[in-house]
Structure 1
Amino acid sequence: MSVMIDGGNTILTARARLLGRHLDIKRLGHMEALATNPLVTAIGDTGHAVLFRSGAVVLFGVDEAQEAAFIEEIRPFVRDPLIQPEREDLPILIDPNRAESLERDRLVLADGDLARLQVVADILGKSVLLADQEARVALAFDRIEPLAERLRRQGRGVSDADTLLRHIGEALAIQQDMVGRGEIGDKPEILWEHPELERLFLNLEAEYEIRERQLVLERKLTLINDTAGTLLNLLQNKRSLRVEWYIVILIVVEIVLTLYELFLRAPGHG
C-alpha cells in the first residue's frame, strides 16, 4: 500500500529517484502546482511528487505502479537520463504526539503538510544526487590515477591533451551539477516561509551527512583538477620546448645555407 494507517497514525514511504542530469521544470506547466520552490504536484488521491532541476524526483505515498506511471510521464523532460537511476527510500510515520526525529530507520513527523514534505524531499533529492556524483568522481579517480602513477614512475605523463581536457571537463560538469542545479550547499527556500522547520532540515542534513559528503567531493574534484592541470602544463611545456628546438634547428640550417652560399660566391670559387 502507498499509505497505511496504524493506530490512527499515517505511515507512508518517501521514494527519491535521480532520473538524469537535469529536469526541465519550466516545461512541466501542464501539471497542477500545489507548491513551488521546489515544485510539488499531486499523484492520485493521496500521493505527492516533489521535483528538482537536478533531475531528482521524490515521491510520497505512492505505490510502484503510480511511481512507474509518473516517471514515464515526466521522462521526456529529463535531460541526459541515467541508465540506472539512483534510489533512496525512507519510511515516514506521521504522529502528532511524538517529537520529530529519525528512529529505527524511519522518520517521525508531526504532520504531513506540504512544507514538511518539501524539506524532506530537499534532503533526499540532494542525497541521491550526491550518490551519483560520488560514483562519477570514483570513476574519474580510476581514470586519472594511472596517469599520475606513470608520471611518478617514468617521469612523464600522458601525451594526449584531449584526454586531460576531458578529465577537467568532467570535474567541472560534476561541480556544476552539484552546486548549480543541485544547490547542495544551500538551504531550501521553504525555510524562509517556515523557519520552524529549520531544525527538521538540520537534523536530516546531519543524518544524511550532506555537507560532509559535499566537502569530500569538493576535495576530490580539486585533486582531479590539479592533477589533470599539472599533467596538461607538463605536456604543453614539453611541446613548447620541442617547438623551440625546431626553431633553433631551422635557424642553424638557415645559417649553414647562408654560409654555404657565401662560400660558393667567394673569389676563387666562382
Structure 2
Amino acid sequence: MTVYLSRIVYSTVRSASMRCFNVPEQFLPQLNLYSKKNSFLCLPCIIKTRNYSTGDVRSPVVLENPSIPLKKKILYKKASLDELTNKEGHYLSLAYVTANSYDLKGLKEALVEQKLYEPATLQAQEVGDVVIANAVYSVGSEPREIIFFREGAVVFWNCTELEASNVLELVRKFEIDSYPRDVIEKEREIMTYSYQPNAKKCYLQESGFVLVPEKDNLLEKFAFSHAMAQSARLGAWEARLEALAAAVRRHSLLMQRDGIAHIQHKEVVRKLGELFSLRHQLNVESDLLDTPDFYWEQEQLERIYSTTVAYFTIPRRTRVLNERLSHCVELLQLLSQWASDRHHVRLEWMIIVLIMVEVCFELLHFFERYRTEQIA
C-alpha cells in the first residue's frame, strides 16, 4: 500500500513540476535553491522568465519609424450654409441635382441669349456632357463659374444662393424627369475653397478645397465639382429609395394585418419596376462604381477626384443603397408572387363554379327528359 501511495505522490509532483511558470527575475534565486534541494527527485524544472518594464508603453510604429504620421480618418458631415459663409478668405461652392438629365444644347443656347454667362472650355480639352459658363459681370476679384453636367447636376463656384436660385429657375425648362424641390434643397452639397500662397497643387483639406493662386485651376475645379455632383445625385437616389421603402413598408404592414386580400398586383409590379429602374441608374447608367474614363490619363485629377469621393463616403453609401434595394426588391417579389397565386386561385375557383353550374343544368335537363318520358 505504501508503494502505491508513493507512486501516486511522485506522479503528481512530476506533473506539477513540468508546468511552465511565468515569474519575475527577483524570485529566481529562491526557485533555483528549491530545485537544488529537491534534486534527489530528478524533476525537470522548466521556468520561463519575462522582463517587465516600468517605462511608458509606446506604439510599435512610433518606435520603428517616428516620422510616419498616424492616418486620421475624415468623417463626412453635410455642412450648413451659415457655418461656411463666415470664414474669411473662403469662397462658396454649391452643388445641386435637379433632374435625371439636362438638355445641354438648349441650355447652352439659353445662357448665350441671356448674355449673363459665356461658355468656356477645359484648357482645349473637350469633355463631353459638360457645359461650363463664366459670369460676364464680375463682383470682386474672384470670378464666378458654373459647371453643368448632363446627369442633371450643376455646381456653382463663388455664387451666392440668390444667384444659384435664379440659374436653377432658368435650368428648369431644360430638365428631363425633374426632382421635387424639397429633395433638391435637402440633398445639395456645400463646400468652400481658398487659395494657399505656398500651395503647389490643389487638394482637399477638411471641409474645403485648396487651390493654387495665380493659376488656371479649371481642370481641378471640374474634378472637385464632379465628385460633389456625384454625391448630390446619390443623395437624391437615397431620398427616392426612402419614399419607395415607405410604400413597401405599408404593403408589408397591410400583409401582416389583413393578409394579401387588399394588395393590388398592379401596384406591386409598378413599385417593383421603379426599384429596378433605380438600380439600373445606380449600377449601369452612373459611374459611381468606378473612376470615369476622363481621369485615367490625368493622375493629378484622378487623385483629386478619388480623394473627394472618399470624403463624401460615396463607395460606402453606394454599397448600402444597393443592399437596401436588394431587400426591397426581394420583399416586393414575394408580394408579387403571392398576389399572382391569389389570382390563379380565384381563376381556378371560377372554373370550378362554372363546371358546377354546367353539371346542374345537365341534371336539370336530364330530370325534364325523365318527366316527359314518364308522362308519355
TM-score, scaled to structure 2 = 0.62
- 5+ residue gaps, structure 2, are 1-84, 113-118
Number of the residue aligned with 2:233:
129
Q: Does residue 95 in structure 1 map to residue 201 in structure 2?
A: no
Give the partner amino acid of 1:199.
Answer: R
| Cα drift, residue 269 of structure 1 | 5.8
Match of 2:339 among 232, 235, 253: 235
Calculate the aligned-residue CA RMSD, in Å: 2.8
Match of 2:310 among 206, 213, 234: 206
| Cα drift, residue 157 of structure 1 | 6.2
1:167-198: CA deviations, max 9, x gaps? 22332343354446643334234313423321
Moved more, 157-166 or 223-232: 157-166
Q: Does residue 268 in structure 1 map to residue 347 in structure 2?
A: no
| Cα drift, residue 214 of structure 1 | 1.2
Give the partner amino acid of 2:121.
Answer: L
Going from structure 1 to structure 2, the CA distance change for 1:112 and 1:222 (only over 3 Å counts) comes to farther
Cα distance in 2 for residues equivalent to 1:5 and 1:42:
24
Give the number of aligned pairs. 264
- 5+ residue gaps, structure 1, are none
The DSSP-based 3-state class of the residue aligned with 1:159 is coil
Query: Taking every aligned residue pair, what percent have the same amino acid on both sides?
Result: 22
1:125-166: CA deviations, max 9, x gaps? 111111122122112212211322333455436422232133
Give the partner amino acid of 1:134.
Answer: E
Instruction: Say whether the 8 Å CA contact 1:18–1:55 is kept in structure 2.
Output: yes
Q: Which has the higher strand share?
A: 1
1:24-45: CA deviations, max 9, x gaps? 2232342524243333221234
Match of 1:74 among 160, 171, 183: 171
Cα distance in 2 for residues equivalent to 1:154 and 1:65:
51
Instruction: Say whether the 8 Å CA contact 2:204–2:304 is kept in structure 1.
Output: no
The DSSP-based 3-state class of the residue aligned with 2:101 is strand
| Cα drift, residue 254 of structure 1 | 0.9
Going from structure 1 to structure 2, the CA distance change for 1:119 and 1:205 (only over 3 Å counts) comes to same
Going from structure 1 to structure 2, the CA distance change for 1:117 and 1:82 (only over 3 Å counts) comes to same
Moved more, 48-57 or 259-268: 259-268
Number of the residue aligned with 1:34:
121
TM-score, scaled to structure 1 = 0.84
Give the partner amino acid of 1:89.
Answer: I
Q: Does residue 185 in structure 1 map to residue 289 in structure 2?
A: yes
Match of 2:245 among 138, 141, 146: 141
1:108-127: CA deviations, max 9, x gaps? 24465221111111111111
Match of 2:220 among 113, 116, 119: 116
| Cα drift, residue 203 of structure 1 | 1.1
Going from structure 1 to structure 2, the CA distance change for 1:191 and 1:250 (only over 3 Å counts) comes to same
Instruction: Return the structure number with greater relative CO, CA threshold 8 A, min gap 6.
Output: 1
Q: How does 1:37-52 map to 2 (within 5 A)?
A: 37=128, 38-44=130-136, 45=138, 46-52=143-149
Cα distance in 2 for residues equivalent to 1:53 and 1:181:
12
Number of the residue aligned with 2:98:
19
Instruction: Say whether the 8 Å CA contact 1:95–1:108 is kept in structure 2.
Output: yes
Instruction: Say whether the 8 Å CA contact 1:88–1:124 is kept in structure 2.
Output: yes
Instruction: Say whether the 8 Å CA contact 1:129–1:182 is kept in structure 2.
Output: no
Over alpha carbons, which structure has the higher Rg?
2
Number of the residue aligned with 2:157:
60
Number of the residue aligned with 2:181:
83
Q: Does residue 162 in structure 1 map to residue 162 in structure 2?
A: no
